[in-house]
Amino acid sequence: METTKKLFRTSVIAIVLIFGEAGFSQEYPWSIYPLELGNIWVTRDFWWRPYYRLEIVDSGVVIEGESYFKTKCTYRTIHGSLNESFIYHRITDSEYVIRFDSSGLYVNPKVKYYKVDTQPGDYWQNLTIISGSEIIHYFVVDTSYYLVFGTSTKVREIFVTDSSGYENYTFWSEEFGLLEHYVHDFELGNYIYLRGCVIDGVLYGDTTFLTVGVDDIQTTPVAEYKLFQNYPNPFNPTTTIEYELKEYALVNLKVYDLLGNEVAELINEEKYAGRYSSSFNGNGLSSGVYFYKLTIGGNTQVRKMILMR
């Protein structure tokens, strides 16, 4: 695998986030590392918490006789509600990054999320009390180098699943912590990425955190335009993407791979009101999940498609 693939893009990739009603997908799927006082992370998603900011504000909180780092979490939902909460992390003697979870969903509240310097083949698990999702399995499946914030960085891919077959993919680095979180789902999906961070006093990426009113962060109403699910889906190798405009507008339609790399620009021109279609050919691309993004006037809609050979 190439060592300079771009993992993050400066342009915003809007990808729909849907939280399930059961299992580990209920909680915000972000844990932090490295653990140092003052470190900050700003994540981006496009459904419930558009911007999410985590900052380590204390390094000596004692819980059940063990010292934890206290992290302040701040986010504003798309409905305009500003929320704050605190979570607690520590590194165990066996170098697991754990979070103390007091929700009562886990048999052991000391939930393992990551292992320092983990390698392919490593495995761990967490036990929950949720029927159908009792065991959450973590498998380290790959380590590869990617370009992260301009630096060639070793990234660990961790496959996460539960007893019901629900699937997660998380991507970690020792330098920046959790980089991406993706939930595999054939209809919608859950994608969150690290927008920027401050590690040991050094700024990486964009840590701007929006605390403006809801009117400033809403997307364009669906009535103005609509992006339809591609067909066929899954596809091999061609598929059709349709969209509908209610008024004259500049239209941009692009396709991205799972890591946010642009693979094709299908449309970039002005269009009158009406319904349009565009064909995408996946020849030369590997099987997997891709996203197509419709941008109109700075507003976006995104859907997922599957190339299956």
Is residue 58 classed as helix, strand or coil in its secondary structure? strand
Mean pLDDT (the chain, rounded)? 78
Residues 277 and 170 in one domain: no
Asked if residue 1 is part of any domain, the answer here is no
Is residue 23 classed as helix, strand or coil in its secondary structure? helix
Asked if residue 251 is part of any domain, the answer here is yes
Residues 162 and 82 in one domain: yes
Least confident of 29-38, 184-193, 197-206, 271-280: 184-193
Residues 202 and 264 in one domain: no
Task: List the domain range (segments joined by +) for residue 63.
Answer: 23-215
Quick one: which H or E segment has residue 216? Answer: helix 214-217
Residues 237 and 255 in one domain: yes
The angle formed by the CA atoms of residues 167, 173 and 175, to the nearest 5 degrees, is 155
In this prediction, residue 237 carries a pLDDT of: 92
Last residue in a domain, options 215, 249, 284 = 215
Asked if residue 40 is part of any domain, the answer here is yes
Asked if residue 18 is part of any domain, the answer here is no
In this prediction, residue 99 carries a pLDDT of: 92
Which residue would you say has higher pLDDT here, 225 or 71? Answer: 71
- Signed CA dihedral, 132, 138, 141, 142: sign only: positive
The pLDDT confidence band at residue 35, using thresholds 50, 70 and 90, is: very high
Residues 58 and 183 in one domain: yes
Q: Assign residue 110 the CATH number of its domain.
A: 2.40.360
In this prediction, residue 64 carries a pLDDT of: 92
Mean pLDDT of 50-63: 88
Asked if residue 9 is part of any domain, the answer here is no
21 φ, ψ (degrees, to nearest 5): -95, 0
Residues 60 and 153 in one domain: yes
What is this structure's pTM?
Answer: 0.60
Residues 229 and 136 in one domain: no
Asked if residue 239 is part of any domain, the answer here is yes
For residues 204 and 192, is the Cβ–Cβ distance under 8 A? Answer: no
In this prediction, residue 3 carries a pLDDT of: 33
Mean pLDDT of 186-192: 54
* Residue 116 DSSP one-character state: T
Q: Assign residue 242 the CATH number of its domain.
A: 2.60.40.3080
Last residue in a domain, options 150, 185, 215 = 215
The pLDDT confidence band at residue 79, using thresholds 50, 70 and 90, is: low
Q: Which two tokens stand for residue 203?
A: 């700024």
Asked if residue 11 is part of any domain, the answer here is no
Last residue in a domain, options 196, 215, 234 = 215
Mean pLDDT of 2-6: 34
Residues 175 and 32 in one domain: yes
- Residue 152: pLDDT above 60? yes
Residues 153 and 282 in one domain: no
φ/ψ region of 254 (left if φ > 0, alpha if ψ in -120 to 50, else beta) reads beta
The pLDDT confidence band at residue 89, using thresholds 50, 70 and 90, is: very high
Residues 235 and 206 in one domain: no
Residues 135 and 227 in one domain: no
Least confident of 127-141, 151-165, 204-218, 241-255: 204-218
- How many domains are contained in the chain? 2
Least confident of 4-13, 73-82, 129-138, 163-172: 4-13
pLDDT tens column, 225-279: 788 889 998 899 999 999 988 777 889 999 998 778 889 999 998 887 788 889 9
In this prediction, residue 91 carries a pLDDT of: 94
What distance in Å separates the CA atoms of residue 112 and residue 258, rounded to the nearest whole number? 25
The beta-carbon contacts of 121-129 under 8 Å, at least 24 apart in sequence, are 124/96, 126/24, 128/23, 128/24, 128/162, 129/104, 129/105
Residues 48 and 192 in one domain: yes
The pLDDT confidence band at residue 2, using thresholds 50, 70 and 90, is: very low
DSSP for 234-251 reads: SBSSEEEEEEEESS-EEE
Asked if residue 8 is part of any domain, the answer here is no
In this prediction, residue 303 carries a pLDDT of: 86
pLDDT tens column, 94-128: 899 999 988 777 888 999 999 999 999 999 999 98
Identity of the highest mean pLDDT range in 3-12, 64-73, 143-152, 266-275 = 64-73
